[in-house]
Structure 1
Amino acid sequence: MPLDVISEAKAHGGTQGVYRHQSRTTDTPMTFAVFTPPQARDGKVPVLWYLSGLTCTHQNAMDKGEFRRAAAEHGVMIVLSDTSPRGPGVPDEADNWQFGSGAGFYVDATQAPYAANYRMYSYVTDELPGYVATHFPADMNRQGIFGHSMGGHGALIAALRNPDAYKSASAFAPIVQPSTADWSRPAFEKYLGRDRATWRPYDATLLIEDGHRFPEFLVDQGTVDPYLDDGLRPQLLKEACDKAGIRLTLNMREGYDHSYNFISTFMDDHIAWHAERLKR
């Protein structure tokens, strides 16, 4: 499992690195970032996976997420994945920011021509963890997952489908019901086909309806988010969790939007929340 080091720099006593490898899952090179906290010098540390939103790469949260100070304080490794496969041979719609490059939606596509590369669910839940476990001092028995928007959707479904793999899960402004949201439904049809029964494993509210469970979620949502009513709809997650008896802390943050100004404001809260559960 060779890994190329693109860059490494000291930050908050730890190391912020960017790495690349050839993915067997997406059949493309994949780039990701890892912040290794200073506590890793003394042994393996808990790992927290961050999944980014539409149009993003690993770089957005690395540059604007403001997570390193809190991660160093709590001794938590942060891994930031890309959001899609990329490259000249990867099918894309260059004029559509809600599909293709930067918009993998953390599903395993089944439809041609996308099925060969767009397998981001398997990449972030299986292949990338294997690389991190091999090359970094990560305690894979203490994993948490969180993300923003499309990445919040990815974090919720990963936790619900793999409750034994993750000890904690949270999200910033997640797409909680992508199978009916305006900005995700067209992508689901292209990736997964028209049979909506095949969409259910990638929809948090429908996974809960189908019996999947996770102990608790933390969700932060801005009240002036322009995508709140048509794309995100956190009330649907609340209804599903209430019905299933899943603990959900839903914080509606007055005056905040969908940007990294919002995410960075509450990043410390999320990392502390995860750290408490990852160290139990």
Structure 2
Amino acid sequence: MDDTDQPDVVLSGEVRMPLLGFGTWQATGRAGYDAVLAALDAGYRHLDTATMYGNEQEVGRAVRDSGLRREDVFVTTKIPAREAGRERQVLEASLAALDTDHVDLWLIHSPPRSPAESTAMWRELLAVRDEGLARAVGVSNYSTPQLDELIQATAEAPVVNQIRWGPALYDAGRLAEHRERGIVLEGYSPFKSTDLGDPVLARIAAAHGVTPAQVVLRWHVEHGIPVIPKSVTPDRIRANADIFTFSLTPDEVSDVQGGGPS
């Protein structure tokens, strides 16, 4: 897989985010570094980390050691809600750990306790974006009403809301709510809610000569939903990256999500 093979989604400001990302939760220390390096070698160009993951230094070192240009790797990190009021310090620490002068996407990891706190935090993210320290800013684990609170307060929508997503969690209404607001729904933990032994997945996988996990990832791509699988196993990292040599039919997309509208 090379860079030109990968579809992306355009965020506001013409920031392009590859639809396939590499999740790094629980990938720490040498194992985390090796996994990220293996992912970049396999062709991933979108890395997802967070302050809470404790691995930004390993992610940054892997990007540097990969030999890739910084501008060719899309890097997301996240700030914990508990750090409300310390946004600048947290981002400065993330940039130092990642060894970069900017991140491509900075997210509020989960909604703070109160709408006022959420809005204040969101204003700080917008200010950081305007200064060029983050090319784009968004949120994670927000409900639609919580997204609307930010929009109503600032007239600016998060470019991304990263939530748990997968075929069993498919919700056409929620996806439509994001798109009506110009917000990209990004999915994490694609396999957590998925039965990879499901006969429907097995049938579709066999038809394409791929694995059920690859079908699940391709299902996200068919919907235009960025997805960030994670693994520290080199073979699985490579297999998860190999989803651009086949496509699903509309009927297969519908079957994967249990027959719901595609």
Q: Compute the TM-score of the two structures, normalised by the length of structure 2.
A: 0.30
Larger helix fraction of residues: 2
Q: Compute the TM-score of the two structures, normalised by the length of structure 1.
A: 0.29
